[in-house]
Each structure stands twice: as structure tokens, then as C-alpha cells.
């Protein structure tokens, strides 16, 4: 099992969109790669690394969720004849929004970095958990929707190590996806914490470590976000006041706090407000 580490920060010319961790699990049938990377160029490099480290052409690539840094290398995998798999919900999100992501990346990073990059939708799609037997090596794909509706965790049953993608960042603020909130994410983390045989996690961003500690750390931020936002909503605070007042200094040292936290407050507030409005609707006359 190998990790190809990327930056904790966002895409920028300095890191050439090598954001977040890529990985591979060696099997007798060829390595399983986790993520395709943020560009064609990065994907070509990752494919070369897979062959160098294992001596085999990759048998499969798995995209854990619809994050640009995890999926923009699809053209290189298509060119190499390596099938790419994702949850059906991830493929749907990719089709909806990733062409716009690519446009922004080209504008921000330049054509030299993004040359050859184009959106390629995954050829294989699943709707739930799936166990793969690759030359006698069991790889389990666990559907744990939390950050997005299509989150997959890639578990190597033999070693007890798993790649969690953006579902479990380490040392980086979890980023609520548009239209989503903390509660389902926390439920997915609790479910993952109970996964039999899971010992080590490779987060989507940051260093690998013991699964319980990494899961607990991500959950703690989401719990604090939910609690603070709900308390202010219950007290009658509006969105702008809530964004101003919800500061979580215990996590300020985590990467992307300034970029993500205020937006997380906004998304959590809007979701909680929608629930409150739904509960407050008068009953229909009988």
C-alpha cells in the first residue's frame, strides 16, 4: 500500500493542483489506484509511479467523491486503458458541475498545468458497497455518504488500512458540500468507526494515522459547528450574525480554516433553518 501525498492547501500554481492524497493498493492482479488526480499531467505521473512501485499496470482506479483534485486525471487513465469506478451519485455530480470546475482551474492555474485535462466520467458505477477479489486480495468499497451522497471508502481487508478521501481530512477543515450539513457526515463517520477490521486511515488530506483518532478529530469539528450554529439560530440570530459569531479557535490552526469555516457556518445555518421552517409549518386543515 502506497500514498502519494499532496498539499493540504487549495489548487495554486505552486502545487500545480497536486492537492490531497492519491494512493494505491498492490494486488496480484495489478494495483488499485485511489483517485485519478487533479490534472492529466498529475495522472500520468501517478500511473508511472504505480508501475514503478509494483511492476504492474493498474487494474482499476476508484474515485472516492466528486472533488476536482481527485478526478480530473481521468483522460490519462482512459488513455492507459485503466477503468475508473465511482458511486453513481459521484458520477452524477461530476456531470453536473465538474466542467465548470475545470474552467476555473484552467483560469487559475494556466494552460501549461492543465494541458490535456478533460472531464471523463467513470466507466464503472456502483450503488452501494462492493467487495472486489483481485488475485486473492480482497478490496472492499464502502458506501458511506456524508461529505457527499456518493462517498466511497476503499478498504484493504488484509492490512486493515483504508483510503477515506474527503470524508476524513486530517489537519484540514472539513468542507461542507453545497446543500449538505454536519449531521449526515457525522453519521457516516460513526458508521465508519464501527467498521470491522479497520485500523489505519489514509485521509483525503494530511497524514495517515490510527482510524479512531482521525475519525474522532473530524467529527469533533463538525459537532462543534453544528452545536454553535444551532444555538444561535435558536436564539434568533440571523445568518450574518451567526457567521460573525461562530468562531472555533480550537481548529483555527487547521489548514483552510479561513477558506472553509465561514462558508461552513453559512451552509449549516441554511440547512438548520430549512429544518426549522419545515417543523414550524402549520398542519394542513382536516
Give tens-digit pLDDT for 214-225.
999 999 999 999
- The residue-averaged pLDDT of 130-140 equals 95
Among the listed residues 2, 27, 22, 1, the one whose alpha carbon sits nearest the alpha carbon of residue 138: 27
Share of the chain above pLDDT 70, in %: 97
Q: What is the DSSP string of 155-209?
A: EETTTTEEEEETTS-SSB---PPTT--HHHHHHHHHHHHT-TT--EEEESSS--E
- The residue-averaged pLDDT of 19-35 equals 96
How much is the pLDDT for 12?
87
- Exposure string of 27-65, with b = 16+ CB inside 10 Å and e = fewer, is bebbbbbbbbbbbbbbbbbbbebbeeebeeebbbbbbbb
C-alpha cell at 63: 474515485
How much is the pLDDT for 282?
44
State residue 138 phi and psi, 5-degree precision.
-95, 120
How much is the pLDDT for 11?
86
Q: DSSP label at 18?
A: -
How much is the pLDDT for 13?
84
Place of cell 490535456: 116
User: Quick check: 198 pLDDT over 80?
Assistant: yes
User: Quick check: 208 pLDDT over 80?
Assistant: yes
User: Quick check: 48 pLDDT over 70?
Assistant: yes
- The residue-averaged pLDDT of 99-110 equals 92
User: Quick check: 280 pLDDT over 70?
Assistant: no
Cα–Cα distance for residue pair 215/206, rounded to 1 Å = 13
Among the listed residues 186, 257, 173, 242, the one whose alpha carbon sits nearest the alpha carbon of residue 215: 186
168, 214 in Cβ contact below 8 A? yes
- Residue with the larger pLDDT of the pair 284 and 181: 181
User: Quick check: 284 pLDDT over 50?
Assistant: no
pLDDT band at 279 (very low <50, low <70, confident <90, very high): low
pLDDT band at 164 (very low <50, low <70, confident <90, very high): very high
How many CA atoms, within 13 angstroms, populate the side-chain half-sphere of residue 235?
11
Q: Render pLDDT for 78-92 as a digit per residue (tens, 0 to 9).
A: 999 999 999 999 999
Return mean pLDDT, the chain: 94
Cα–Cα distance for residue pair 146/235, rounded to 1 Å = 28
Pick one of 3.50.50.60, 3.40.605.10, 3.30.420.40, 3.60.15.10 as the CATH number of 2-210: 3.60.15.10
pLDDT band at 1 (very low <50, low <70, confident <90, very high): confident
Cα–Cα distance for residue pair 169/78, rounded to 1 Å = 28
Amino acid at each position: 500500500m502506497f500514498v502519494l501525498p499532496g498539499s493540504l492547501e487549495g489548487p495554486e500554481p505552486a502545487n500545480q493542483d497536486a492537492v490531497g492524497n492519491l494512493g494505491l493498493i498492490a494486488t496480484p492482479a495489478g494495483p488499485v489506484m485511489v483517485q485519478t488526480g487533479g490534472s492529466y499531467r498529475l495522472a500520468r505521473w501517478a500511473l508511472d509511479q504505480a508501475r514503478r512501485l509494483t511492476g504492474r499496470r493498474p487494474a482499476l482506479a476508484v474515485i472516492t467523491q466528486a472533488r476536482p483534485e481527485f478526478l480530473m486525471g481521468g483522460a490519462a487513465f482512459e488513455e492507459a486503458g485503466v477503468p475508473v469506478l465511482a458511486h453513481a451519485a459521484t458520477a452524477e455530480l461530476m456531470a453536473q458541475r465538474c466542467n465548470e470546475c475545470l474552467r476555473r482551474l484552467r483560469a487559475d492555474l494556466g494552460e501549461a498545468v492543465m494541458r490535456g485535462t478533460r472531464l471523463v466520467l467513470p466507466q464503472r458505477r456502483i450503488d452501494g458497497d462492493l467487495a472486489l477479489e483481485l488475485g486473492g486480495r480482497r478490496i472492499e468499497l464502502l458506501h458511506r455518504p456524508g461529505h457527499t451522497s456518493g462517498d466511497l471508502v476503499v478498504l484493504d481487508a488484509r492490512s486493515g488500512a483504508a483510503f477515506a478521501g474527503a470524508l476524513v481530512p486530517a489537519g484540514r477543515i472539513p468542507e461542507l458540500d453545497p446543500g449538505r450539513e454536519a449531521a449526515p457526515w457525522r453519521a457516516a463517520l460513526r458508521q465508519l468507526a464501527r467498521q470491522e477490521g479497520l485500523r489505519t486511515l489514509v485521509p483525503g488530506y494530511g497524514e495517515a494515522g490510527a482510524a479512531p483518532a482521525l475519525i474522532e478529530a473530524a467529527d469533533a469539528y463538525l459537532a462543534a459547528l453544528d452545536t454553535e450554529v444551532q444555538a444561535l439560530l435558536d436564539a434568533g440570530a440571523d445568518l450574518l450574525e451567526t457567521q460573525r459569531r461562530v468562531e472555533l479557535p480550537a481548529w483555527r490552526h487547521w489548514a483552510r480554516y479561513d477558506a472553509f469555516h465561514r462558508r461552513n457556518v453559512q451552509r449549516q445555518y441554511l440547512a438548520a433553518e430549512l429544518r426549522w421552517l419545515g417543523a414550524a409549518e402549520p398542519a394542513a386543515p382536516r
